[in-house]
Structure 1
Amino acid sequence: MHGQISNDTPVGVPADLMWDVYRSFELGRLVDKLAADVVGRVEFLEGDGGVGSIVKFTFAAEPGSPGSGYMKEIFTKIDDENRVKETEVIEGGYKALGFEVVRIRLEILEKDSESCIVRSCIEYEGDDKLADVVSHVSVKPLEIMAEIVGKHLIQNKSTL
């Protein structure tokens, strides 16, 4: 069994500005600073924010958080031209529920010169026995993250 879920979140900042945050560890720093109680905590375990970097994400204490309460992911793709970042879960999270492969794809799409869309996608592969678990796969934390980072950038536009 394999599938994907995705969501588009409109954000009122230019795509290049949003990408500057999303492409590196800055996204984790902002999530940790602005949304730790809502989304979770981020720890940088290895790397400089480029491909091969590993982060640990500890979910906010919320009923229904996937799997083990945390996940580790490795950055597998950072495409500056197309503003695409991909990670793969290597431990915890949905992988702890039994999925063999879990990829997270974040894409920043230019809407116009002052706004963009953050497309968040989770792709998963696993045994057909996981059919009941698929309903728990959610991009909601990624949507909340995009909204919070977008609001932060709007509020701080003059200092950026």
Structure 2
Amino acid sequence: MLKQVSLISFLVFSCYMGAESQDLKHLTNELQVNVAASRVWELYRHLGISRLAAQQLQNVIHNVQVLEGDGGVGTKLKLTFAPGNSSYTERFIEIDDEKKVKVAKGLEGGCLAIGCSVQIVRLEIIEKTSDSCIIRSDIGYAVKEEFEANDPKPNIQLLAVAAQIAKRFLESSETSASL
């Protein structure tokens, strides 16, 4: 019985992700951090990286608002940007503590506002050694047929800058802790 439920869950999830991932284009950023993967994952797993980035990028991110949830799967998060007050809303659809992967589906704003039909943000913390890892940020997206000539793309720069902020924050707190 449990195997049947697991198989059914897997098939439903695969169909859902398959529908979302067909013909997705990808933008990826990777950054090495000299801190244990588990420490980086603690920051990325829930809402920590969003709040830290908002705190450090007040000229870019006006507000981070949790519309529902507590940072786990199903959490709906809205980022409002300065100065034009455009926004981006996403829902966390997967958080895998073992693989250190967090996936969010864009609901409104971002490239969805300029012609994309799908925007999937995948954050992965990849262990290299016991005290270093890679933060991999990936945006998968699909463009609506009528907008293909305009070639709309999501902007991965915010995720790249957030990774830099995480690196600086974690490496400096690691240095402070060892003194």
The answer to whether the aligner puts 1:146 opposite 2:168 as a matched pair is no
Conserved? CA contact 1:8–1:120, under 8 Å: yes
Q: Report the TM-score when normalising by structure 2.
A: 0.78
Equivalent of 1:41 in 52, 63, 66: 63
Moved more, 76-85 or 94-103: 94-103
The answer to which structure, 1 or 2, has the higher relative contact order (CA under 8 A, 6+ apart) is: 1
Tell me the distance in 2 between the aligned counterparts of 1:40 and 1:136: 22
Conserved? CA contact 2:116–2:152, under 8 Å: no
Equivalent of 2:98 in 81, 92, 115: 81
Structure 1 equivalent of residue 118 of structure 2: 101
Q: Percent identity?
A: 36
Tell me the distance in 2 between the aligned counterparts of 1:69 and 1:94: 12
Moved more, 113-122 or 126-135: 126-135
Q: How does 1:5-154 map to 2 (within 5 A)?
A: 5-38=27-60, 41-61=63-83, 69-134=86-151, 136-154=153-171
Conserved? CA contact 1:39–1:141, under 8 Å: no
Moved more, 16-25 or 3-12: 3-12
Tell me the distance in 2 between the aligned counterparts of 1:5 and 1:40: 24
Tell me the distance in 1 between the aligned counterparts of 2:123 and 2:134: 10
Between structure 1 and structure 2, the one with the greater Rg is 2
Aligned to 1:85, the other structure's residue is in SS state strand
Query: Amino acid of the residue matched to residue 18 of structure 1?
Result: V
Query: Amino acid of the residue matched to residue 52 of structure 1?
Result: G
- Structure 1 residue ranges (4+ consecutive) displaced by more than 6 angstroms after TM superposition: none
Tell me the distance in 2 between the aligned counterparts of 1:39 and 1:112: 33
Moved more, 25-34 or 13-22: 25-34
Structure 2 unaligned residues grouped into runs of 5+ = 1-22
- CA drift of 1:38 comes to 4.2
Structure 1 unaligned residues grouped into runs of 5+ = 63-67
Q: Report the TM-score when normalising by structure 1.
A: 0.86
Task: Say which structure is richer in helix.
Answer: 2
The C-alpha deviation readout for 1:23-75, integer Å capped at 9, x for no partner, is 1011222112222324553211210100000111123448xxxxx82110000
Give the superposed CA RMSD: 2.1
Query: Amino acid of the residue matched to residue 33 of structure 2?
Result: V
